Amino acid sequence: MNVVTPPLLVARNQDALSWFLRDCKEQASRDQHYKVASISLEIKHIDPLAVLDSIYEEDEIHFYMENGVHEEAIAGADAIVSASFEGPGRFKAAKKFTQSILENSIVTGDLEIPFSGPHFFCAFTFYNESSEEDYFAPATVFVPRWQVSRSGGKYGAVANILIDEESDLKVIADRIWKAHHKFSSFNYDTGKKILKVDAASEGTISDVGGEGSYEKAVRIALHKIGAGNYDKIVLARALDIKRSTPVDPLASLNKLRRIYSDCYVFSIANGEKQSFIGASPERLLKIHGQELKTEAIAGSAPRGQTASEDAVLAQALLNCEKDLREHKLVIDSIARRLLEVGIHAQIEPIPALLQLSNVQHLRSLISGEMPKDKHLTDILAVLHPTPAVGGTPRAKAMLEIKKLEVFERGLYAGVVGWLNCHGDGEMVVAIRSALINGSNARLYAGNGIVQGSDPKMEKMETDLKLRAMLETIH
């Protein structure tokens, strides 16, 4: 990656912008390879979701992720370069793709602000291979044409442009100049749509596989756990919603953001009119510099209606032998897999509570130091899927999931997130989620099954988890 400082900041001075673009074109001509020109600018204020909502097109690829607790949000759309991969080598292929793009990237602007420079937005399905039912490739990576972000009190906009020796620099410069003024004082067009999800819309809700199919799968899994086939398996349920009117994914996303601000709210669209949205409590991986952070989340209980009831439920969860045993399986697996790539995990000694608006979990924070020769995708390749969404032993559990679940997971329990030009990034587990496809939506939620699980209670816990998406879509 080449960092360029023009005489004056790009896009705040047209002469400097022209100088920068000419330099990019000269390098593209010299190397006989296109260049990704990336211009980052700090702006006074912008709301990434409001921007995405204002200019949303259902047939355009986009990415959005926000965490209200961390006061961070990022959105991008309209890919200038993208790639998809499948098979066991998909993470390695994604790494190679990002590195090849960065080798031909030229960046400039306000590079000290958060989320500056070109970002790669990523989605990885649960399994390495795709099926006829999947709307997303096993691995999708793209660089957006535009990107906006906020982090604390800092706001930024990034323009990414493909430049080759045939590029018309005047047209590109005019487009960037107009975009700069647009994002500096964005018109959110509040009259474009009413951000309301019509809960009274006519439609049907049905369990994929039929009523009772989930409890049946849990009973089969418990029998195999008792026979020693595996220690834990995560089984998911899916609900199909069929409405008389189209589901607006961004209207649902706005409601998720408001109700579940303590989660990672996300959306990724494939550019073919399907979107995958959700409100996930689980960060799989965050890398900043040489610091790696992940977490183990397993074991759950409902929230109480009063402080006393909530405290009783929390105390029962913290002392539940079944949930603590399930939680330890996740911790041990993560620590063992991190060690495979040379990371010695630092683990909180006692699980704490992660209390969300409708459910509470056991959570243990895990950290470590990134080896200098490792990339974020190298860590993803060994961590995904953790026993929190797959099971243990992993290979046996993943094969069994295919047998016991009556639907394809696709992006459910997969990974969505971003990585930047410095190797930093954040990936979350795509749970508490839904696939939006026109007037249809498929909602997903799962639960970990271990010895001592009760089919009826596991079904009730998935009801609790599905509530997040049901409240926002139907």
How far from 126 is each of 7, 135, 138, 149, 235, CA to CA, in Å?
A: 48, 13, 8, 27, 13
Alpha helices, DSSP H only, in 145-245?
169-184, 213-226
Q: Which two tokens stand for residue 278?
A: 């959700």
DSSP designation for 290: T
Q: What are phi and psi of 347, to 5 degrees?
A: -120, 135
| Residue of 95, 232, 255, 465 marked active site | 232
Angle, alpha carbons 287-139-241 (nearest 5°): 105
Whether residue 425 contacts residue 287, with contact meaning beta carbons closer than 8 Å, is answered with yes
For the question of residue 86 being annotated catalytic, the response is: no
User: Which of 77, 97, 100 shows the shortest CA–CA distance to 85?
Assistant: 97
Whether the link from the prior residue into 349 is cis, omega within 30° of 0, is no
Please identify which residue in the block is written with the tokens 């961390």: 70
Tell me, yes or no, if 272 is annotated catalytic.
no
Question: Which amino acid, 127?
Answer: Y
C-alpha to C-alpha distance for 135 and 430, rounded to whole angstroms: 15
Closest CA to 4 of 385, 19, 13: 19
CB 408 within 8 A of CB 133: yes
Q: Which of 66, 72, 282, 458 is catalytic?
A: 282
- Choose among 298, 294, 293, 349: nearest CA to 324: 298
Q: Between the CA of residue 303 and those of 155, 237, 242, 310, 314, what are the distances in Å?
A: 35, 21, 29, 5, 8
* 399 vs 377: CA distance, rounded Å: 23
Distance CA 390, CA 432 (A): 15
What is the Cα–Cα distance from 447 to 462, expressed in whole angstroms?
7
Kindly list the catalytic residues: 232, 282
